[in-house]
Amino acid sequence: MTTDTQHLKELNKEQREAAIHSNGPLLIVAGAGAGKTKTITHRIVNLIKKGISPERILAVTFTNKAAKEMRERIILEIEKNAKGQDKIPFVSTFHSLGVYIIKENARLFGLTKHFTILDEGDATSLIKEVLKELGIDPKQYDPKKIKNVISREKGKFVHLPEYIERENNKMNPLLKIVAQVWDLYEKKKAKENALDFDDLLLKATKLLKDNLEIRKKYQEKWEYIHIDEYQDTNEVQYLMSRMLAENNKNICVVGDADQNIYSWRGANLKNILSFEKDYPDAKVILLEENYRSTKNILTVANEIIKKNKYRPEKNLFTKNKSGEKISIYEALNENDEADFVATKILEIADSGADLPRRGVSQADGPRGSAPRARGDSDPALAISAPLSQIAILYRANFQSRALEEAMLRYNIPYQVLGVKFFERKEIKDTLAYLRAALNRNSLSDIKRIINFPARGIGKVTLVKIFAGEEENLPIKMKIKIDNFYKILEEIKEKIGKEKTSEVIKFVVKKTGIETELSSGAEEDMERLENIKELATLALKYDNLENGLGIEKLLEDASLASDQDSLLITEEKKEKINAVKLMTVHASKGLEFKYVFITGLEDGLFPHQRHNEGEGFDSEEERRLFYVAITRAKEKLFLSFANFRTIFGSRTINAPSEFIADIPRTLLEKEEENSRIKTIYI
């Protein structure tokens, strides 16, 4: 191997083949745990070593977490193998790429540079406001459902005029209401100098499609394009990728049809299945060697997924040990199932330590000590337990209740993934001050903070302000409003001069948030701690000057996904030794030594509404189970309940069809705990 390719020695044959490929379209079909990020990283570094400027390389993925990991790996490899190179490729999420293109061409959209990005909650609230303005009852027509319809259409690259024309002759009243709401919703956003998530992709892609000059500009800017998780792209993302690559055709996409689990978000499996049709000269490379899981886990995964028809032929293998068999537990009900999971976790955590067994009394059944706060540390567990390497997965969010109660009964520290740090009220309030300071047209933000902390500015006053009738207000009220806007001016001034973390500290003090929360109850003190954590998080933006740090923080906060921002910030999360509870969807991209997949019952997993479909839809639940299985590195536990209470009704369940697909020789039945069974009957 030559000196130039020495950095490729740690790759296997297929990974190396993908890494040294330079020109023309390339499809990398990468199975779970097959080292796709490593392969892309080395491919990018190899291009740089061949003389391609890093600035001409684009890499796009779906979450900030994945983009951050890829960027860090690329920087590390450049430092090791391309010394003297001080530039790096453009690595971002699709939405961040959309923001970049829109900001560079803001005037063409009638926007200012400091436009507001509405998160899902803000967008839904604005739609609720629109419904009320139109005289439509939000209780009858759910704002979230209407938002989802609009989002789905935008993901298909459908604009409002096309939607109105298409739905005009249909009798569905909901669709007609959607058209009315969508129209006013767009007008309100324009007035507020704001965009929602879907606009970031829709508007950027439309600009590329309609403006040849701008399209050529970005085609020349990024000569080599890499798209990660290509199986998850929707129509807009597909079009954006194609237009950026149409000139040079140097597009490398990485994905796995077996891990397409987001069709409900608009992800189109046909995009990856049709890649060779879109690019007839494409080279296809399969990465089938798994570096994550044991042989037994992979055998089960292969057996499950091979029943799907809409997939390229692929068979994962590994040089890892055979490992333990897959455990299966037949529970009486969801409480019995949760107790099984909890007691198994204590067994895993033991490691020879004398751990407390609080929570089960032989006479009285599960009751235990008083429940403690989620995530509180137990000294014995903290010393010996690899709790952060244990995940409990479930198909639907409602399943977490029984599991959480069991974690509390047995005093096991845990985290529920999916509750976003940036969606906490106190964090949104703090960020709203920053957005309002930069964008005075952001009425949603001003409405949120003008009376927090309390300034005696009520709803009636707010209506008059937004109607431009401030002159009719009493002099004392005018002074209060003037003082509020002076605070925004001071914040804006600080943004241009101070470091990002210092601006956050200034906002908390100047606005009175710190005083308000410091004098409150314990819950308020926790909120203040979260804001302090925001200031700590902001430290990583301090190297960006002239307000760019605040802009980037606001952008990242708006675009944070389930995995990017959980109960606490990413950096702090990794240090907490706690069991992770999450849906299977939220687990994608993660890995754990021990994985529990619960609720394997017909109608729940596979989920009933999906199981009734045909074609692509009927196969998605099987892909979802495949994703769940391949999160496990060493040991996999499966469980199902004969009875489960759902929405207040007790149902009798048959085991999931997936269980029957697992070879009997790889399953070991967990023994029933007859005492607990008796308790729960």
Specify whether 415 is catalytic: no
Q: Is 425 annotated as a binding residue?
A: no
Specify whether 545 is catalytic: no
Minimal CA–CA distance to 71: which of 58, 53, 52, 85?
58
- List 61, 93, 205, 259, catalytic entry: 259
- List 43, 588, 631, 633, catalytic entry: 631
**Secondary structure (3-state) at 313:** coil
Q: Is 323 annotated as a binding residue?
A: no
Cα separation, 123 vs 55, in Å, equals 34
Cα separation, 496 vs 113, in Å, equals 14
Specify whether 440 is catalytic: no
- The number of helices, as runs of H, and strands, as runs of E, in the chain is 31, 19
- List 129, 199, 229, 601, catalytic entry: 229
Cα separation, 73 vs 77, in Å, equals 6
Specify whether 140 is catalytic: no
Pair 411, 379: CB distance under 8 Å: no
| Total residue length of the chain | 681
- Give the torsion sign (CA, 161, 166, 171, 174): negative
Which residue intervals of 246-399 are DSSP H helices? 270-273, 275-278, 295-305, 334-350, 379-384
Q: Is 82 annotated as a binding residue?
A: no
Specify whether 259 is catalytic: yes
Q: Is 37 annotated as a binding residue?
A: yes
Which residue intervals of 372-474 are DSSP H helices? 379-384, 400-409, 425-438, 443-449, 459-466
Specify whether 631 is catalytic: yes
Residue 53, C-beta contacts closer than 8 angstroms, at least 6 positions apart: 87
- List 37, 461, 563, 583, catalytic entry: 37
- List 228, 232, 378, 601, catalytic entry: 228
Q: Is residue 330 left, alpha or beta, with left meaning phi > 0 and alpha meaning psi from -120 to 50?
A: beta
Pair 336, 676: CB distance under 8 Å: yes
Cα separation, 234 vs 93, in Å, equals 14
Cα separation, 575 vs 577, in Å, equals 6
- List 16, 36, 527, 580, catalytic entry: 36
Catalytic residues: 36-37, 228-229, 259, 631
Binding site, annotated residues for ATP:
30-37
Binding site, annotated residues:
30-37
